[in-house]
Homo-oligomer: A and B are copies of this chain.
Amino acid sequence: MNPATANIEEAILSAILAGRINPGTRLGEQKLADLFGVSRTRVREAMMRLETRGVVQVSARRGWYVVEPSAEEAREAFQTRRVIETGLLHALREVPPQVLKSLKEHVAMERDAIGAGDVHSRACLLGDFHIHLADALGNRMLTEIIRDLTARTTLISMLYQPTEKAEESSHDHEDIVAAMEAGDLALAARLMDEHIGKVEAGLDLTAKPDPLAGLRALLSPAAFAGNAPSVPHTHDHPQDHSHPHSHGHPATKED
């Protein structure tokens, strides 16, 4: 592959993993071309590659956008991660000491970042843990898959995560590594399953499907089918689903 193209691809992907690009961000071809000092052709290449990897999308003649996974896609992504990562731990017969050491160091770094309140690297490290774990098998294919998947879940967290429970996540990671060290990989797999479940449960999948949600809620909090409002207001309105007839009722501006 062309190195320049690979660079662009990698730069954008790692920026997403690091939480430095928000979901929904527009990525103009010309802008990126100028930024990287290449022609649009290359940028398009990189974008199309990223599209097949599921991290950007093109909107015809409007531009490339970082994906904003729907609630459904979010569920799929977490389920996929659960399948793969527990499967990985089950497949692992023994953990090489070197890997164990590396993972322990990683968890230590997580704790440090949390202690220091370094929000930026914190999120990055929490996602990176899973990628490091995939390295344990030494399987590049699997690592790549998990990397792409982690990018998506990172974006999902940005969209749907009301409160970040970094300490808890890091603690989970610690427990998983401990189980691995004890050689109890079945336990590690179970813990991983629970961990991913917890992260998923911590999401508010009823909220923020689009940037207009908050605005829309402000204007008419009543009954817009499908997408729920999501400003800091309380939203968990058990909401009788979708009144097709009564659209646009700006009446109740409750709480």
Q: Which residue of B lies closest to A137 (CB)?
A: B79
**A212 contacts partner chain B, Cβ-Cβ < 8 Å:** no
Q: A1-B51, A1-B58, A52-B52 are in contact. Are A87 and B76 (CB under 8 A)?
A: no
**A158 contacts partner chain B, Cβ-Cβ < 8 Å:** no
What CA separation (Å) do A163 and B81 show in the bound complex? Answer: 35
Number of this chain's copies in the complex: 2
**A234 contacts partner chain B, Cβ-Cβ < 8 Å:** no
Q: Which bucket holds chain A's interface residue count?
A: 20 to 34
**A40 contacts partner chain B, Cβ-Cβ < 8 Å:** no
> Is B51 a contact partner of A48 (Cβ separation < 8 A)?
no
Q: A48-B49, A49-B52 are in contact. Are A83 and B79 (CB under 8 A)?
A: no
Q: Which residues of B contact A53 (CB under 8 A)?
A: 52
Q: Which residues of B contact A91 (CB under 8 A)?
A: 79, 82-83, 86
What CA separation (Å) do A58 and B51 show in the bound complex? Answer: 19
**A213 contacts partner chain B, Cβ-Cβ < 8 Å:** no
Q: Which residues of B contact A145 (CB under 8 A)?
A: 80, 145
Q: A53-B52, A86-B90 are in contact. Are A80 and B45 (CB under 8 A)?
A: no
Q: Which residue of B lies closest to A86 (CB)?
A: B87
CB A48 to nearest CB in B, in angstroms, measures 6
CB A219 to nearest CB in B, in angstroms, measures 34
Q: Which residue of B lies closest to A134 (CB)?
A: B83
Interchain CB contact (< 8 A) of A48 among B45, B73, B80, B90: B45
Q: Which residues of B contact A83 (CB under 8 A)?
A: 84, 87-88, 90-91, 137, 139, 142
Q: Which residues of B contact A54 (CB under 8 A)?
A: 141
**A113 contacts partner chain B, Cβ-Cβ < 8 Å:** no
30 contacts between A and B (CB under 8 A): A1-B51, A1-B58, A45-B48, A48-B48, A49-B49, A49-B52, A52-B52, A52-B53, A54-B141, A76-B139, A76-B140, A76-B142, A79-B91, A79-B137, A79-B142, A80-B145, A82-B87, A82-B91, A83-B88, A83-B90, A83-B91, A83-B137, A83-B139, A83-B142, A84-B84, A85-B87, A86-B87, A86-B90, A87-B87, A87-B90
